[in-house]
Structure 1
């Protein structure tokens, strides 16, 4: 069992390092080094076009995620239903990540129209295969066990790995980009280059692939009477299945608001260090602090969930994050206070994620109990769908905030006006605060699928299916 836990954690580490790179740092690559030297207005316009394309592509593709979940659910191979998509998705999406962190053979400089066309094709392929991998990886969770306690362990160790992966990127990104910039471009004094960002992207792509391979090689799907009671879902019925699961839909709305607020703030944090604090090289400290806090926070989840339940963790965690926002607002240009604020803001995040993930996972049996049909990947596709939706909107918001506040290219903190700073703070703090408050209220008042209720549902399902099996034998 230990091997399975570690293998799943390794996959989560590489997977979330990939997600953080794509959703949080790709926008920085585009606005800081991809389009530079054609004039501030032109550079900002070209960067905005790329990010707008990403947002549109992801929003369109997101509509197909439940159908991708249906395809995964209907997969039947010797490797199981999940592993082919995890490995295949990792290979294609990793190659795609490397490609988009380039100028595409110099087209970004010589022929921007052709660059945009080629970029769109590559990003569509990348996003589709990433979706297959993302949905297959997380929807494997209910297949590893139907026991909520065992699921909590898999979810916790998975989140442990993903926390190290996502926050570890914050530690290595600037040192690695600067190292490869010096190595391949001969730069000095903290100058970033495209080659530096490409070296970083190659490292993340390799990490994603190796993590996927570890999960494929080291985990095993559980077989049980409940899991065997699975019917193939027609693609045209996928959205009907989701819509009939009321607990899943309320959780989806709450988690979307939560994820959007968190990702926007987290994505703008590097801009805050570079263009407000003037301390981009100290951004690695954020990754160090949050990685340590993640190592502490994630193992606390199984302990706290017994004491205060998932609802207490989800709502209480958001309240703690709101305190972090207040500290951010009063931090001003103090690096130390900003780090303290980020520590308070981040600490409950892994536990809130786990509370949401476990609620979604338990809604598999809830949907089976309510509707008579079990849909693992279709149900679990909701969480990746929401994260991608939040990431897509966030990427657009980040570029909108950067362009409208003057934080692009080689701008310095002294170049940012008071009005520009207010715009930046509105995007980074004020709007996310409203989003998180709404998320907490929805979860508190609308989610009734507790751990106790899930255990009752599993017991009822087992009795019902055992009775049906006995009738068949008679």
Structure 2
């Protein structure tokens, strides 16, 4: 391991050309998100659809599955920091991140294929096998996700570089999500006609997505090069986890706020296909809405670096939150007008794209804050709070979505005509009313408690540079500036 900041680990020596290194890290890291977000979306957004519309589980079974999803996701989320410590303590010739990225990707792909396999079971045995496969899926997701995003702060300290890497990563992720969401209904319908079974159609889609994920993860493994390490890495013991996380107050405020935001957003996306099938009354319009979602997210992410430079992150966060709130209000009032629903989608998903990227940047900057405050650098433990956010919010959203399907009558309905006005109102309040409240509370919490703006972050990085210079016996003017690659 190197003993001074700015150098690469054994996973690959940084290029002597800083521009080449930046290009490799930006695209190598970004492209890896394309397939992995397809896998994550297939389960987070469509597992309930598969279980209720394809497997056709009963209300009783759905109730048990909903409880299982909530409990297992919360339990797994709590375990994320443990995996973060394991990654931070790893020392191999390939570095500490890449071995776990590879192991996680392969096992995650296998679990995804198993998830959508036809086991030929029902009743209690179906639940037992489902729980086992889902547990494997969650563990594999944890291994890959924490090591993957834990690498982001190690690719550069410069905020502009991080925003560039993060923007490309989120664009690639959005492309993957866009392709899956838009193509799922027509592709599974076409495959069902060829194969004669909806289960076989979903299995083929899951297998294809798993292969795509592995292919793009290989790009990340081969292309990326770590640029930042601690001057003197400190091993993280399990008993240190609490102090590393609790001591980083800025990380905790980001986590709390983003759990609120992502819970609301995930409720909306989880219920999307049901909305167009049973409330709007035309399931084919879901693909149109998904296309609006994908294009809007990609455009928003491409615009983020320019918006951040022009207005600063705090103002961008306010504007993005306002767009989400207005989008939800317009969506609720849209009725059966697809034009108005499309306008609502543009507002909602543009704001969401900005906020999710800001979340990644806030967590990345919390790495330096934790190093500055606590005297130790823990990329993976810090970034373990990102999958915690997704899993905790997914758990809460799954509970809300499952309960909504039961209370609104959607789970037992066969068409839109089976849904009463009261049931439709319950559904719309859950899909649009509850999320808008959570989005507003999320902004308020960050506005009052998060302090790592651009100026404060620059001060912290400068102080870390001085400390590292003293620790290595170098003068500060001999150190590469934050984010630059040492020759």
Secondary structure of 1:408's match? coil
Aligned counterpart, 1:107: 121
Spell out the pairing of 1:90-105 with structure 2 (5 A cutoff).
90-104=105-119
Spell out the pairing of 1:409-448 with structure 2 (5 A cutoff).
411-448=414-451
Aligned counterpart, 2:323: 320
1:410 Cα deviation from its structure 2 partner: 5.4
Q: Distance in 2 between matches of 1:467 and 1:306?
A: 32
Q: Distance in 2 between matches of 1:208 and 1:396?
A: 28
User: TM-score, structure 1 length as denominator?
Assistant: 0.93
2:62 corresponds to 1:47: yes
Residues 33 and 409, structure 1, Cα contact 8 Å, conserved in 2 = no
Aligned counterpart, 1:208: 213
The one-character-per-residue Cα deviations of 1:102-142 (angstroms, maximum 9, x if unpaired) are 332x013xxx2122112212211211111010111111101
Aligned counterpart, 2:26: 5
Residues 153 and 228, structure 2, Cα contact 8 Å, conserved in 1 = no
Residues 182 and 287, structure 2, Cα contact 8 Å, conserved in 1 = yes
Secondary structure of 2:473's match? helix
Aligned counterpart, 1:189: none
Aligned counterpart, 1:40: none
Q: Distance in 1 between matches of 2:299 and 2:402?
A: 33
Instruction: Provide the aligned length of Structure 1 versus Structure 2.
Output: 454
Aligned counterpart, 2:184: 173
Q: Distance in 2 between matches of 1:245 and 1:137?
A: 21
Counterpart selection for 1:184 from 195, 220, 224: 195
Q: Distance in 1 between matches of 2:274 and 2:320?
A: 25
Aligned counterpart, 1:127: 138
Aligned counterpart, 1:60: 75
Spell out the pairing of 1:357-372 with structure 2 (5 A cutoff).
357-372=360-375
2:30 corresponds to 1:16: no
1:214 Cα deviation from its structure 2 partner: 1.4
Q: Distance in 2 between matches of 1:17 and 1:179?
A: 20
1:409 Cα deviation from its structure 2 partner: 5.4
Residues 277 and 335, structure 1, Cα contact 8 Å, conserved in 2 = no
The one-character-per-residue Cα deviations of 1:378-406 (angstroms, maximum 9, x if unpaired) are 00111111111111211221111112111
2:256 corresponds to 1:235: no
Residues 69 and 377, structure 1, Cα contact 8 Å, conserved in 2 = yes
The one-character-per-residue Cα deviations of 1:3-31 (angstroms, maximum 9, x if unpaired) are 33222122111121111111111011111
Name structure 2 gaps, 5 residues minimum: 1-21, 476-487
Aligned counterpart, 1:297: 300
Name structure 1 gaps, 5 residues minimum: 37-42, 187-192
Q: Distance in 2 between matches of 1:79 and 1:287?
A: 39
Q: Distance in 2 between matches of 1:415 and 1:471?
A: 74
Residues 231 and 472, structure 2, Cα contact 8 Å, conserved in 1 = no
Counterpart selection for 2:225 from 220, 223, 236: 220
The alignment's C-alpha RMSD in Å is: 1.6
Aligned counterpart, 1:152: 163
Q: Distance in 2 between matches of 1:368 and 1:404?
A: 48
Secondary structure of 2:394's match? helix
Secondary structure of 1:221's match? coil
Aligned counterpart, 1:454: 457
Q: Distance in 1 between matches of 2:109 and 2:396?
A: 22
2:147 corresponds to 1:136: yes
Aligned counterpart, 2:89: 74
1:408 Cα deviation from its structure 2 partner: 2.1
The one-character-per-residue Cα deviations of 1:435-454 (angstroms, maximum 9, x if unpaired) are 11100101111111012211
Quickly say closer, same or farther: Cα 1:301–1:229, change in 2 above 3 A.
farther
Spell out the pairing of 1:383-402 with structure 2 (5 A cutoff).
383-402=386-405
Q: Distance in 1 between matches of 2:449 and 2:71?
A: 31
User: TM-score, structure 2 length as denominator?
Assistant: 0.90
Q: Distance in 2 between matches of 1:54 and 1:207?
A: 26
Residues 157 and 228, structure 2, Cα contact 8 Å, conserved in 1 = no
Counterpart selection for 1:84 from 81, 94, 99: 99
Q: Distance in 2 between matches of 1:47 and 1:202?
A: 24
